[in-house]
Structure 1
Amino acid sequence: MILISKYLVPKGYVGITIFPFVFLKHKHLKTDINLVNHEKIHLRQQLELLIIPFYLWYGIEFFIRLIVYKNWNEAYKNISFEREAFSNEKDLNYLKSRPFLNFIKCIKI
């Protein structure tokens, strides 16, 4: 379910997925098919890891990447979940053929 909330989406971002919802900053973003697909990929990742472990892994990996890159944006872009979502957001059929736990191949140390 896609909801609009400019207050829940952090500054500098246009969307955030908190299972089972996708929050977008502005109503017109609902028509951005690549953004919506990106967020749907996150929904699948969250389901695969049974939701809570997803957030723990995401947070821990983010802080490790922040130490490595010393840059918030670079750390965010290099989280394995984000790498998978960004690299496949334009493939609107990706989720139909996506292997289980596919984000693992996106882990780069």
Structure 2
Amino acid sequence: MIVLVLKYLTPKGFRGITIFPFILLVDKKDREDAVMINHEKIHIRQQLEMLIVPFFIWYGIEFLFRWIQFKNKHVAYRNISFEREAYANEKDLDYLKSRSFWKFLKYIN
């Protein structure tokens, strides 16, 4: 995991984005935000277990499906299974120690 502060490579409206092995942050203060980093580490694990490229394909397809479903990009983003898992567990700094393989599937509903 390599944490970089590159606000111009992070999509507008987001504090950070993870593209294995990089976590790209907008603000250098976020390097010290344990919850933010944990959220992004959850995405690193998701990407690794899906062999990276399939993660992004699934992410994109699920985003489009949720956008059609909710007719709102922000609500669609928050309902992607990968994001639901990360947001639900970002405050549990020990989550990745006990997380089971492909745990994001629990968050698809």
Which TM class, normalised by the smaller chain length?
Answer: over 0.9
1-structure distance, mates of 2:50, 2:34: 25
Partner-residue secondary structure (3-state), 2:59? helix
Could you list the structure 1 runs, at least 4 aligned residues long, displaced by more than 2 angstroms after superposition. Answer: none
Q: Partner of 1:79 in structure 2?
A: 80
2:62 alignment partner in structure 1: 61
Amino acid in structure 1 at the alignment position of 2:61: I
Q: Counterpart of 1:102 in structure 2: which amino acid?
A: K
1:7 equivalent to 2:15? Answer no
Instruction: Count residues with an aligned counterpart.
Output: 108
Partner of 1:44: 45
| CA distance in structure 2 between the partners assigned to 1:20 and 1:67 by the alignment | 31
Match of 2:30 in 1: 29
RMSD in angstroms over aligned alpha carbons? 0.4
Structure 2: runs of 5 or more not aligned: none
Structure 2 counterpart of 1:103, which letter? F
- Give the TM-score normalised by the residue count of structure 1: 0.98
1:29-50 superposed Cα distances (whole Å, 9 cap, x missing partner): 1111100000000000000000
When the two structures are superposed, what TM-score results if normalisation uses the length of structure 2? Answer: 0.98
Distance across 2 between alignment mates of 1:40 and 1:16: 10
